[in-house]
Structures are given as C-alpha cells and as structure tokens.
C-alpha cells in the first residue's frame, strides 16, 4: 500500500481484493475493477467467493429474483462490453398486458425496441434440463473469470481486521489476507453480523418479504396464453403493490411485491379471476409450481456501508425500490470499483466518491414511495382504475410520443427510468387532464372493453 496514513490507502501493483458473493453486484464490481485497473496500468488480483453453482437448477443455483432486465440496462451493458448472448435470454418481452378488475389492455413498448429480456438468475427451477441455456449470474461470473478473476467455491465464515489488511476465512479452512474486501452477499442476518466485525458502523437496510414462484407450462401453451408479453396486475388485494407473470422458456415466473407477503396473500392472488383467466382452464397453478420462495428485498437503504479496506455493495447497500435490482447492482458496483482503483480504499475516499451514488439512489426511492402511494390510491378506486384503463386503451392507437400514461406505466413496470423522471411525466398537466377526462367519462358509461 502507498503511504503510511490510514486515511490515504490506495491499491498498488499486486494488491489482493476479495469479493464475497458472485451474484450481479459482485461480478459487476470484479468486471469493472479489472477493466479500470487495466486502463490505469495497475495489476490487481481478485478472488470471488461464491458457494453456489449457477449451473445447477433449483435452490442450489438460484439467487431469488424475478429476472427482468430492462431495455435501458441492456443498452448500457452493451456499451460496457457486456452483451447478453441469446442462450441467457429465456424470452424477449415485447409488451405488457395490464390487468385490473375493470378490464385488460396491452401496453406496447413506447420505443418499439423490444429488447426487454427475461432471464433466470440460476440455471432454472427445480427439475430444469437443457443443454442450450445458461443462467444470467453464471454468464457474468464467467466474464470475470475470463478477465482474470479467480473463483473460490466456498463460503466465507469469518472476516477480521488486521494491522495491514483484512483476513478472510472460509468454511473449508481457506484463509488469506486482502488489501480490500468487497461484500456483495445479499440480504440475511448472518452476513450482516459477519461484516460488522470490519465495518462497525454499518446499519443494515430495511427489508420486506416478497414472493417468487416458478409455474411449469409447456412451451406451446406459454406461446398461446402468454406469448412475448409480461402480465402485470394492479388489483385491490391486501399487501400487494404489484403482481406479475413473466414467461420464460417452459415456465412462467410469478412475482409479488408489496409488504410482508405470505402464503395466504399468495393464495388470494392466485384465486383472483384475473390471474386464473391467464392460464388454460383447469390449471392447478399452486400445484404446478416447481419452485417457490419468499425472498427479502431492500426497501430502505443501509447506512455506513464502508470503512477502511471494506465496502458493502448491492442489495445490502442501496437498491431500487421494488424494481430493477440488477440495474442498481450495476450502478453501485461500478461506482465502488471506480473509487477503489482511481481514488483509494479508505473510508474517507468511499464516503467522498461512492456514497453520493448511493444517496442518489436512495433519494430517487423516496420519490418512488410517493409514486407507489399514488398507484395504491388508484388500485383501491374503481373510478380511477376505469379512467386509467380507458386512457391506456385510447393511447395505444396513438403515436408513441402521445402515450403519456402508457409510457409512465411502462417505465414503472420495467424500472427503465428513474422514479424522478417517471414522477415528472406523471404530473404533466396534459396527462392529468386527460386522465381526469377519461375518469369522468367512465363514471357515466359502461366499463371499457378488453383489448385482448
């Protein structure tokens, strides 16, 4: 290390970096750290600790995610040299089908780019068999290995601070001292406690339970009943802010977002007419779930996520409220890598260069909470939902730049834009006036007709 001042720690040639967690945030950090170091003429060694095998089906290879990657993120990654191969994308999403109690309509992509991808974070649900497809996480991890990273298939169970580095020990008794340790471990209490030893001021994020289920259907029936459309549900059901059915290969992924989702909430959602009508008649949806889980998501960012030689990124730090966790992982991981390579690895440098990126995400999430409060009001109002549905149906016949409500809903569903940008478009006078006009009209007319 250069310098004797602990507040001026920087990486030198031959520096060792440990990345604990090989999911998107860990892989993105590794990819960018190696890329930046190469540009800077710096030689660093990176070990990625990941106990899971992303080539396995079921829980052994799964990272518990809905698996939607927005078109804006796909484009951004491609400019970074990360181009998703066809065998990672299980289905391209060309439209959204929005369901409310008052009817259904298709929302086409405003820009007609048709580049939204549905992927599996692991190889696929329990029982998946394929020689063609790869998982998204495995693809990213292999990119890092190709750039020179070393994967250690073991679980870290101890992290301790030494006078001149951070000592990492694993379950199988591997141990090594590192100049920098990056935590990309996700959301669980054990890992929180693990990194408090070296990041004493760390305050974990606030979380809530969600639901993900993988429903088996053969490819022909998915083509017939779902096609290349992601079905989203804005139903007046307790605890649920957003529900989605995402076609992928021979499975349909069910995602429920809200507050403290449990088995009763899931059953109530699946029993709704709007959901049952999406499937072939007589389908026993619950019994056709190959996998299901109730993962936690970050709903309020963590605090003090760094110290000298230590930084915490990804879901454990700051994410995007209810949406686009992969995109948030990209943002925080790249910022952390840029800081470590070009500025330094002291807590002071991370606070100066990394923390503002997290602050921006957290502030945007504050706007997102207001948007979801507004959508919650709409979900509970029959009149407002009729007006919204009527407006969207009308907009689908217009040019893309005139589809104001459709565009707002599209970006809210996909996470393609910041909540600040979505909110600015949502309060545009033309959108509000048109929304009110459709709402008032529907108070005196029949329900809008379905478009599918």
Write the pLDDT tens digit of every residue in 210-244: 999 999 988 889 999 999 999 999 999 999 988 99
With bands split at pLDDT 50, 70 and 90, how would you rate the model's confidence at 186? confident
Q: What is the mean pLDDT of residues 62-75?
A: 81
pLDDT in tens, 122-143: 777 887 776 677 889 999 999 9
Residue 324: the pLDDT is: 67
What is the predicted pLDDT for the residue at 417? Answer: 87
Mind listing the pLDDT tens digit for each residue in 381-412? 999 999 999 999 999 888 877 899 999 998 88
- Residue 229: what pLDDT? 92
Q: Confidence class of residue 97 from pLDDT cuts 50, 70 and 90?
A: very high
Mean pLDDT of 312-335: 89
Q: In the prediction, which pLDDT does 448 show?
A: 53
Kindly report the average pLDDT of the chain as a whole number.
Answer: 89
Amino acid 7: pLDDT: 55
pLDDT higher at 1 or 33: 33
What does the pLDDT look like over 82-91, one tens digit per residue? Answer: 998 888 888 8
pLDDT (0 to 100) of residue 66: 76
User: What pLDDT does residue 72 have?
Assistant: 81
pLDDT at 81 over 90: yes
Q: What is the reported pLDDT for 94?
A: 87
For 153-173, the pLDDT digits (tens) are 999 999 999 999 999 999 999
CB 270 within 8 A of CB 180: no
- Residue 2's pLDDT is 45
pLDDT tens for each residue of 7-29: 579 999 999 999 999 999 999 99
pLDDT of residue 3: 41
Q: Indicate if the pLDDT at residue 362 is higher than 70.
A: yes
Q: Region 362-390: what's the mean pLDDT?
A: 93
Predicted confidence band at 112 (pLDDT cuts at 50, 70, 90)? low
Segment 275-299, tens digit of pLDDT: 999 999 989 898 889 889 898 888 8
Examine the pLDDT at 119 and tell me if it is beyond 50. Answer: yes
What does the pLDDT read at residue 452? 53
Report, as an integer, the average pLDDT of 145-150: 97
Task: Tell me what percent of the residues of the chain surpass a pLDDT of 70.
Answer: 95
Q: How confident is the model at residue 61, as a pLDDT? A: 76
Q: What is the predicted pLDDT for the residue at 130?
A: 66
């Amino acid at each position: 290390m250069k310098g004797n001042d602990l507040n001026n720690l920087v990486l030198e040639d031959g520096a060792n970096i440990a990345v604990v967690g090989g999911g998107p945030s860990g892989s993105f950090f590794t990819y960018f750290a190696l890329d930046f170091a190469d540009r800077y003429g710096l030689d660093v060694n990176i070990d990625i600790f990941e106990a899971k095998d992303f080539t396995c089906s079921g829980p052994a290879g799964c990272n518990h995610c809905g698996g939607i990657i927005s078109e804006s993120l796909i484009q951004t990654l491609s400019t970074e040299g990360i181009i998703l191969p066809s065998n990672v994308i299980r289905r391209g999403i060309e439209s959204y089908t929005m369901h409310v109690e008052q009817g259904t309509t298709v929302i086409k992509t405003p820009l007609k780019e048709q580049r939204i991808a549905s992927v599996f974070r692991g190889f696929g649900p329990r029982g998946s068999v394929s020689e063609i497809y790869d998982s998204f996480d495995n693809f990213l991890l292999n990119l890092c290995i190709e750039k020179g990273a070393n994967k250690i298939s073991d679980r870290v169970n101890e992290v301790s601070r030494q006078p001149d580095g951070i000592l990492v020990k694993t379950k199988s008794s591997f141990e090594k001292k590192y100049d920098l340790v990056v935590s990309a471990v996700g959301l669980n209490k054990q890992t929180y406690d693990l990194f408090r030893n070296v990041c004493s001021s760390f305050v974990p994020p606030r979380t809530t339970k969600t639901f993900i289920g993988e429903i088996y259907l053969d490819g022909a029936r998915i083509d017939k009943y779902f096609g290349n459309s992601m079905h989203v549900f804005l139903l007046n059901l307790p605890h649920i802010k957003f529900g989605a059915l995402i076609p992928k290969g021979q499975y349909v992924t069910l995602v429920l977002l809200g507050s403290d989702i449990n088995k009763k909430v899931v059953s109530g959602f699946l029993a709704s007419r709007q959901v049952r009508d999406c499937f072939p008649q007589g389908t026993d949806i619950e019994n056709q779930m190959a996998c299901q889980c109730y993962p936690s998501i970050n709903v309020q960012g963590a605090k003090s996520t760094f110290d000298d030689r230590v930084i915490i990124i990804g879901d454990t730090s700051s994410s995007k409220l209810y949406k686009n966790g992969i995109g948030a992982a990209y943002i925080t991981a790249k910022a952390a890598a840029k800081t470590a390579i070009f500025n330094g690895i002291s807590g002071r440098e991370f606070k100066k260069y990394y923390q503002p990126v997290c602050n921006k995400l957290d502030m945007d999430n504050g706007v997102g909470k207001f948007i979801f409060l507004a959508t919650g009001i709409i979900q509970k109002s029959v009149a407002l939902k009729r007006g919204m549905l009527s407006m969207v149906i009308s907009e689908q016949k217009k040019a893309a730049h005139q589809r104001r409500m459709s565009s707002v809903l599209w970006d809210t569903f996909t996470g393609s834009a910041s909540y600040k940008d979505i909110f600015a478009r949502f309060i545009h006078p033309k959108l509000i006036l048109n929304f009110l006009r459709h709402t008032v009209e529907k108070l005196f007319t029949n329900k809008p007709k379905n478009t599918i």
